[in-house]
């Protein structure tokens, strides 16, 4: 029986409710009056329910689809402006005891190179990331309590925050590790993590069990209820995601939104971010083995409808996607992208030799961070290295209320410009620097609040004189 407030996975992700929602959408995909009314409701920027959203996803009426894309762009602009937050993944260890059939780190893969970074390795990796200009990391590990216990993850976080190389600093560490206990989530919180990210992969229980035949991750309920334990452990900001292409995308889309509704219903705050990875080739993984993989067009529509359904949730895309796809979905709703990523263990300080392949997936966008920043500037975006909210204690419901009232823009815009300025001063190529300076000049003059504008302009000058780390 569907109950968004239940703490039982099979009740807040109720299979019957998903199937009914899908049938409802199928029956109404050409229902002009209903779809128009949903678009009008969505235009108030307060979101849509999972059932309403899947009607939009299925809509076959071209003119209304066009309106939908327009609305997604409008919402993106209203809540996120032209800012795109930059981050990089850091793989600590690829030891894994699970049997996920879509990931080359699965325990039975005997020929992939298993690696785990020592604290000295981490210092080298993070120094290299700082030298690129990164300020925000997403830590990634496989699940292996013996080779990669929580104590190792905590020690690594401490190491990362302690490294200060030239003007570099990692100011926000988000963590993507296996589902764990409330006690361990509490320890992560105390270590000062930003967002706890865990991908559901698929919400379809039977498929989930087939894709996860062995290891602790095979427990669907334990995995699906992880975000509740994380929040019980004091982590305010959690990041959801499904691996599109593992199951029928419509089913997972509804499940994802139901999960967001559940978090809002129980904890009073929805997910901080939603990631939209698609299955992609890797060491012993062939995407042709997954018959549900989705086209670029469907992928773009998924991004647009998620943007409309949950306007307050940041959306993340990785370097799995090509430059062309990244460009297309940036305007439809994506607010965070990775740049210059390595998906192997230890790939930043030194390029990994091909025979040592330890990567989780093949990267499609292989550009350097500077090239990505330059590209964003050319497209008219403001690459942002901002990490201010978590450091100012603006997390969870405090963050959401600032976002919903629109006040956060007073922080995001100047913070984006100031962190971009830091990047330009310390790391950018001459061309990127010229483009960035021109953009800062133009955008700083448009900060609406005169007091904030005046302070931001002063900080921007201070940054030119060697001072660092200003924030609103
Ligand atoms: S997806 Fe995660 S848990 Fe599964 S095999 Fe890969 S690293 Fe391990
Ligand atoms: S001010 Fe907060 S919401 Fe805005 S970009 Fe910075 S960290 Fe994100």
pLDDT by residue (tens digit) across 57-95? 999 999 999 999 999 999 999 999 999 999 999 999 999
Q: Tell me the pLDDT band of 381, cut-offs 50, 70 and 90.
A: very high
- Alpha carbon nearest to ligand 2 atom 2, residue: 389
pLDDT by residue (tens digit) across 108-148? 999 899 999 999 999 999 999 999 999 999 999 999 999 99
Q: What is the pLDDT of residue 49?
A: 98
pLDDT by residue (tens digit) across 235-289? 999 999 999 988 789 999 999 999 999 999 999 999 999 999 988 777 887 777 7
Q: What is the pLDDT of residue 218?
A: 98
pLDDT by residue (tens digit) across 292-332? 778 899 999 999 999 999 999 999 998 889 899 999 999 99
- Nearest ligand 1 atom, CA 217: 3
In this structure, the strands spanning 382-384 and 336-338 are unpaired
Q: Is 306 in the pocket of ligand 1 (CB under 6 A)?
A: no
pLDDT by residue (tens digit) across 324-356? 999 999 999 999 999 999 989 998 998 888 777
Q: Is 389 in the pocket of ligand 2 (CB under 6 A)?
A: yes
Nearest CA among 180, 271, 189, 255 for reference residue 225: 180
Q: What is the pLDDT of residue 455?
A: 97
d(CA 309, CA 30): 19
Q: Is 98 in the pocket of ligand 1 (CB under 6 A)?
A: yes
- CATH code, residues 80-388: 3.20.20.70
137 bridge partner residues = 88, 173
CA 445 to the chain's CA centroid: 30
Q: Is 170 in the pocket of ligand 2 (CB under 6 A)?
A: no
Q: Is 415 in the pocket of ligand 2 (CB under 6 A)?
A: yes
Torsions phi, psi for 389 (to 5 deg): -60, -50
| Distance from Cα 255 to the centre of ligand 1, integer Å | 21
- Alpha carbon nearest to ligand 2 atom 5, residue: 412
Q: Is 408 in the pocket of ligand 2 (CB under 6 A)?
A: yes
d(CA 91, CA 150): 15
3-state secondary structure the chain: CCCCCCCCHHHHCCHHHHHHHHHHHHHHCCCHHHHHHHHHHHCCCCCCCHHHHHHHHHCCCHHHHHHHHHHHHHHHHHHHCCEEEEEEEEEEECCCCCCCCCCCCCCCCCCCCCCECCHHHHHHHHHHHHHHCCCEEEEEECCCCCCCCHHHHHHHHHHHHHCCCCCCCCCEEEEECCCCCHHHHHHHHHCCCCCEECCCECCCHHHHHHHCCCCHHHCHHHHHCHHHHHHHCCCCCEEEEECECCCCHHHHHHHHHHHHHHHHHHHCCCCCEEECCECCCECCECHHHCCCCCCHHHHHHHHHHHHHHCCCCEEEECCCCCHHHHHHHHHHCCCEEECCCCCCECCCCCCCCHHHCCCCCCCCCCCCHHHHHHHHHHCCCEEECCCHHHHCCCCHHHHHHHHHCCCCHHHHHHHHHHHHHHHHHHCCCHHHHHHHHHHHHHHHCCCCCHHHHHHHHHHHHHHHCCCCCCCC
d(CA 350, CA 125): 8
- Nearest ligand 1 atom, CA 142: 7
- Alpha carbon nearest to ligand 1 atom 2, residue: 142
Which ligand is nearest the CA of 142, by number? 1
Q: Is 212 in the pocket of ligand 1 (CB under 6 A)?
A: no
Q: Is 240 in the pocket of ligand 1 (CB under 6 A)?
A: no
The residues spanned by each domain of the chain are 9-76, 80-388, 407-464
Is 192 a residue whose pLDDT tops 80? Answer: yes
Q: What is the pLDDT of residue 227?
A: 98
Q: Is 142 in the pocket of ligand 1 (CB under 6 A)?
A: yes
| Distance from Cα 248 to the centre of ligand 1, integer Å | 20
Q: Tell me the pLDDT band of 228, cut-offs 50, 70 and 90.
A: very high
- Nearest ligand 2 atom, CA 387: 7
Helix axes 409-426, 430-444, angle to 10 degrees: 150
- Alpha carbon nearest to ligand 1 atom 4, residue: 100
Tokens of 296: 């670029």
Average confidence score pLDDT of the chain: 95
Q: What is the pLDDT of residue 354?
A: 76
- Nearest ligand 2 atom, CA 394: 2
| Distance from Cα 290 to the centre of ligand 1, integer Å | 17
| Distance from Cα 199 to the centre of ligand 1, integer Å | 10
Q: ∠ CA 228-100-266 to the nearest 5 degrees? A: 10
244 bridge partner residues = 278
Tokens of 344: 């192997």
| Distance from Cα 331 to the centre of ligand 2, integer Å | 18
Q: Is 85 in the pocket of ligand 2 (CB under 6 A)?
A: yes
What percent of the chain lies above the pLDDT cut of 90? 86
Which ligand is nearest the CA of 383, by number? 2
- Beta carbons of 229 and 186 less than 8 angstroms apart: no
| Distance from Cα 103 to the centre of ligand 1, integer Å | 6
Q: Is 143 in the pocket of ligand 1 (CB under 6 A)?
A: yes
Q: Is 382 in the pocket of ligand 2 (CB under 6 A)?
A: no
| Distance from Cα 98 to the centre of ligand 1, integer Å | 6
Pocket test for ligand 2, best of 337, 387, 393 (most atoms within 8 A of CB): 387
């Amino acid at each position: 029986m569907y109950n968004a407030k239940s703490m039982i996975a099979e009740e807040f992700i109720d299979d019957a409710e998903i199937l009914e929602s899908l049938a409802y959408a199928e029956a109404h995909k050409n229902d002009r009056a209903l779809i128009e009314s949903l678009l009008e409701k969505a235009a108030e920027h307060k979101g849509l329910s999972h059932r309403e959203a899947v009607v939009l996803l299925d809509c076959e009426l071209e003119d209304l689809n066009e309106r939908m894309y327009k609305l997604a762009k409008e919402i993106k602009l209203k809540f996120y402006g032209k800012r795109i937050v930059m981050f990089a993944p850091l793989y600590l260890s690829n030891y894994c005891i699970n049997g996920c059939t879509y990931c080359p780190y699965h325990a039975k893969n005997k020929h992939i190179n298993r690696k785990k970074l020592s604290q000295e390795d981490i210092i080298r990796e993070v120094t290299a990331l700082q030298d690129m200009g990164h300020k925000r990391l997403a830590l990634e590990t496989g699940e292996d309590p013996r080779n990669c216990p929580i104590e190792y993850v905590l020690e690594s976080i401490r190491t990362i925050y302690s490294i200060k190389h030239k003007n570099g600093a990692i100011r926000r560490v988000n963590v993507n590790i296996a589902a764990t206990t409330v006690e361990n989530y509490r320890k992560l919180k105390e270590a000062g993590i930003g967002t706890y990210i865990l991908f559901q992969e698929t919400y379809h229980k039977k498929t989930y069990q087939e894709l996860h035949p062995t290891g602790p991750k095979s427990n669907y309920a334990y995995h699906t209820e992880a975000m509740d334990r994380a929040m019980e452990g004091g982590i305010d900001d959690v990041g959801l995601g499904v691996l599109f292409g593992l199951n029928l995308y419509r089913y997972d889309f509804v499940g994802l939104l139901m999960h967001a509704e559940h978090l809002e219903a129980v904890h009073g705050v929805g997910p901080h971010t939603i990631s939209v990875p698609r299955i992609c080739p890797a060491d012993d993984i062939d995407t042709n083995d997954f018959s549900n993989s989705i086209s670029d067009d469907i992928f773009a529509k998924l991004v647009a409808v998620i943007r409309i359904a949950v306007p307050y949730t940041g959306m993340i895309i990785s370097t799995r996607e090509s430059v062309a796809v990244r460009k297309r979905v940036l305007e439809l709703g994506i607010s965070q992208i990775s740049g210059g990523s390595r998906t192997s263990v230890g790939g930043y300080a030194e390029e990994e030799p091909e025979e040592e392949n330890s990567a989780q997936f093949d990267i499609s966008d292989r550009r350097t961070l500077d090239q990505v920043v330059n590209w964003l500037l050319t497209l008219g975006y403001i690459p942002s290295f901002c990490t201010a909210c978590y450091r100012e204690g603006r997390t969870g419901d405090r963050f959401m209320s600032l976002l919903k009232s629109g006040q956060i823009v007073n922080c995001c815009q100047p913070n984006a410009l100031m962190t971009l300025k830091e990047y330009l001063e310390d790391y950018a190529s001459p061309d990127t620097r010229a483009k960035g300076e021109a953009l800062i000049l133009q955008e700083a003059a448009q900060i609406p609040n005169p007091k904030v504008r005046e302070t931001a302009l002063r900080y921007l000058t201070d940054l030119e004189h060697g001072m660092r780390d200003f924030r609103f």
